[in-house]
Amino acid sequence: MQLYNLEDKNVMKEKLMEESFQRVTVSFYRYVIIENPNDLRDELYREWSDLNAFGRTYLAKEGVNAQMSIPEENWEEFITKVHARKYFENIPFKIAVEDDGKSFYKLKIKVRNKIVADGLNDGDFDVTNVGKHLTAAQFNEALADPNSMVIDMRNYYESEVGHFAGAICPDSDTFREELPQVEEMLKGNEDKKILLYCTGGIRCEKASAYLKHKGIKDVNQLHGGIIDYVRQIKAENLDNKFIGKNFVFDERLGERISSEIISECHQCGKPCDDHTNCSNDNCHLLFIQCTECADKFAGACKVDCQEVASLPAEDRREIRKLKENSENDSVYKSRLRPKLNSKVDD
């Protein structure tokens, strides 16, 4: 069998929407030495394809980072097969908070140098010397401690739509950028009780080890991240200290945790926390857009993109070629946040 997907993404999305069965959205990760990640990649692709599994998985010599969508009828078999591998034995699964079964439309498994891009030289410190893992109840208790500093280890566009009450949310576009920012923030606060959290826990594993290496004494991290925090507070009837939405890296782009909307539409300023990607595939910028602006601009982030998105496919391809060959195209070179401080004119 072929070990990658060649089908058109729009066709795959249509097939997903037509499915009559339910799927389970799950994420899991583990830092573990994988001897031959390329061989494992091909084995997993064959195995998971047979189970009609979709999702995005990164493998590296340092471990695995996976977000998956599994048909309910194949869920138990998937768990059994994953746990049967020595690298993934008893690996914990984090089930999605809100799940319509449409989180992924294809299977993608890639081998990378790292399972999370952090820009660190792991040989410089002990990556296994991580912070103390806290349950949801312990994390809530620690949040109330006046000596605590709670830090969001996610990117700005994630914390923009949801975060823990009182959290410090660094203004960073990538995890690689955030680590030195957090290190700088903690200067003079080395004796504070540091509380870290992220989506599923993986970024905090590396961040906590790095901060301990830098001399921070009391480093703690939310076990299982926001995803498992929500599961625990529901199971144990605990107070929810998370405000807004939890951003997720799949087709859903977010899970509702509380009713509060803490962000606004980047185009009109109306309260909104719905992320979307610009409908101009040559841009594909991630931004927040309300339903009214989505209708007005046809899902585009600005008028120029709206005009491009409305062109015939052949013309869009030509523009893409020009963009790819241009070294001075600042609009398409920039993949950072939408600079919409001045709202789009009517």
User: Which residue is associated with the tokens 């280890």?
Assistant: 153
Q: Are 79 and 90 contacting, i.e. CB atoms less than 8 angstroms apart?
A: no
Position 176, amino acid: R
Domains of the chain with bracketed CATH: 9-111 (3.30.70.100), 122-236 (3.40.250.10), 275-333 (no CATH)
Q: Can you tell me the mean pLDDT for 118-136?
A: 89
Report the pLDDT value the prediction gives residue 323, as an integer from 0 to 100: 60
Q: Can you tell me the mean pLDDT for 35-46?
A: 96
pTM above the 0.85 mark? no
Report the pLDDT value the prediction gives residue 72, as an integer from 0 to 100: 96
**Percent of the chain whose predicted confidence (pLDDT) is above 90:** 74
Report the pLDDT value the prediction gives residue 318, as an integer from 0 to 100: 74
Three-class DSSP labels, 254-269: CEECCCCCCCECCCCC
Q: Which of 237, 187, 177 is nearest to 211 (CA)?
A: 187
User: 197 by DSSP, 3-state: which?
Assistant: strand
The pLDDT mean for the chain works out to: 89
In angstroms, the CA 204 to CA 26 distance is 19
Q: Is the pLDDT of residue 343 over 60?
A: no
Q: Is the pLDDT of residue 346 over 50?
A: no
pLDDT tens profile 280-300: 988 889 999 999 999 999 999
- Lowest mean pLDDT: which of 116-120, 256-260, 285-289? 116-120
Q: Is 198 a catalytic residue?
A: yes
Q: Out of 198, 265, 293, 301, pick the active-site residue.
A: 198
pLDDT tens profile 160-195: 999 999 999 999 999 999 999 999 999 998 889 999
Report the pLDDT value the prediction gives residue 101, as an integer from 0 to 100: 84
DSSP secondary structure of 235-257: HHTPPP-EEEEE--SSTT--EE-
Q: What is the band of 133 on the pLDDT scale with cuts at 50, 70, 90?
A: very high
State how far Cα 16 lies from the chain centre: 21
Q: Can you tell me the mean pLDDT for 4-33?
A: 89
Query: What interhelical angle do 136-143 and 225-236 show, nearest 10?
Result: 100
Report the pLDDT value the prediction gives residue 283, as an integer from 0 to 100: 87
Report the pLDDT value the prediction gives residue 327, as an integer from 0 to 100: 47
Report the pLDDT value the prediction gives residue 296, as an integer from 0 to 100: 95
Q: What is the band of 128 on the pLDDT scale with cuts at 50, 70, 90?
A: confident
